Structure 1
Amino acid sequence: MEYVEVFMASPWIYLVVFGIAFLDGFFPVVPGETTVIAAGASAAAIGVPNIGIVIAAAAIGAFCGDHVSYAIGRFAFGPIAKRLKPGTKKKKAFDWAHDALIKRGGIVLVVARYIPGGRTAITITCGAVGYPIRKFMFFDAIAAISWGVYSGLIGYFAGWVFQGRPLLALALGFAVAMTCAGAVELVRYILERRAKAAETTESESTAEPVNSGKQ
């Protein structure tokens, strides 16, 4: 435990938070939330590191990492997607993703940032379908900053509850983060189902006059 406290008091902790948040943007195996939550819990439990700098490092790292993911999608998957044959399942899926991002890109980007693994899939897709980079930067900045604040404060709250017991603080913070991520995913699923149902109803209503005219 003494070594943990020494590390948390070191300026290197900010570089670690930045680096892991950065890698998490395009390499989802890296535990981005866990690192930020741990630093936040330590900030409240033992007084170091500085929670404000932790949040800033996490947000900047996430923002930069997401842009690497966007670049991978644009330059690696974009050319492949453009060569897809019309009418194929892959082409239809590509067109659906493109339309969804054009219509609801900002909301999708912000929500996906709170879903481990989902954030990478969305940012890569944004690059592959050619989502405008200025819009991407704007909404990704909102997503990264809000994610940094959310993860840091969850850890800080847990550390405040369990002052002097950083391991319990980390466990509580991680549990709360997973619960919130699950709630976000559930809401996203419900909204997606409703949107698909609305599109089906709309397509059926526009198809009825055409059918009746042919008869």
Structure 2
Amino acid sequence: MDGVMELVHTAVTSPWFYLVLFAVAAIDGFFPVVPSESTVITAGVYAASVGQPDLVPVVVLAAAGAFVGDHVSYTVGRLSGGRLERRLRPGTRRHGAFAWAGRTLAERGGLILVVARYVPGGRTAVTMTMGAVGYPLRSFSMFAAIAAVSWAVYGALLGYLGGVAFENDPLKGVAVGLGLALAVTAVVEAVRFFVRRRRSAAEGAAGGSGVASVGDGGGEDPEGTRRVGTFPGA
């Protein structure tokens, strides 16, 4: 255990850690198996317990990396979206789902993007989809910045609280910070689950009363046949 603590201490307090933090946050934006959140939390713990790294650069670089990574994911979606749309036959369930995604993101894409930043894996799916359906880059960048900064502050403060609570045992502080992060993620997932259930129930009731829903394989949706123009200012 002492060897692990020494290894983590050496890594986190190294000047190179800032560069690693930026890279991890950026890569996690389009390759969601990199532990960016735990890296930010660990940095916050050590900032509180040993004074290194400095918390302000941690927040700035984590936010900057997340912002860059989200734009890489958005660009991948943008480049592949046109080909994907051309392959979808109007009137099919997949075409309806694609059209529904475009309309939903047009209505509340900013909120979805900010919330998805706190859902591991979900952030990549959302940013890539926003690129694929042609969500305006200017609006995307604005909400991606809000999401990245809020996420970086959130992760650093969680770690900092853990470091203050266990000043003499940073590993316990990391465990507390990660536990709090998991609790927040569980709450977000629970809310999303109940929202989906309510939406499904509402759509079922609408279907039962003879109202056709998007993507049911029925007639073409006149709005869903065009991706460009769905978003104001696109």
Structure 1 residue 27: Cα displacement: 0.2
Q: Indicate the residue corresponding to 1:4 in structure 2.
A: 8
Question: Could you list the per-position Cα deviations for residues 73-118 of structure 1 after superposition, in whole angstroms to 9, with x for gaps in the alignment?
Answer: 1102432223310112211111111111111101110110000000
Counterparts of 2:104 and 2:21, CA distance in 1: 32
Counterparts of 2:147 and 2:201, CA distance in 1: 28
Structure 1 portions without partners, runs of 5+: 208-215
Counterpart selection for 1:102 from 99, 102, 106: 106
Question: Could you list the per-position Cα deviations for residues 128-165 of structure 1 after superposition, in whole angstroms to 9, with x for gaps in the alignment?
Answer: 11011111111111111100001111011001100021
- Identify the range of structure 1 (39-48 vs 188-197) with the bigger mean alpha-carbon deviation: 188-197
Counterpart selection for 1:63 from 67, 76, 88: 67
- Counting only pairs closer than 5 Å after superposition, residues 1-215 of structure 1 correspond to structure 2 as 1-198=5-202
- Identify the range of structure 1 (118-127 vs 99-108) with the bigger mean alpha-carbon deviation: 99-108
Structure 1 residue 2: Cα displacement: 3.1
**SS of equivalent residue, structure 1 residue 173:** helix
Counterparts of 1:3 and 1:62, CA distance in 2: 26
Q: CA RMSD in A?
A: 1.8
* % identical equivalent positions: 52
CA contact (8 A) 1:112 1:118 kept: yes
CA contact (8 A) 1:40 1:153 kept: yes
Structure 1 residue 13: Cα displacement: 1.0
Counterparts of 1:99 and 1:193, CA distance in 2: 20
- Identify the range of structure 1 (82-91 vs 59-68) with the bigger mean alpha-carbon deviation: 82-91
TM-score for the superposition, normalised by structure 1 = 0.89
Cα gap change, 1:179 to 1:162, in 2 (>3 Å)? same
CA contact (8 A) 1:26 1:66 kept: yes
Higher helix share: 1
CA contact (8 A) 1:78 1:127 kept: no
Structure 1 residue 198: Cα displacement: 4.6
CA contact (8 A) 1:39 1:152 kept: yes
Q: How many residues align?
A: 207
Counterparts of 2:142 and 2:107, CA distance in 1: 16
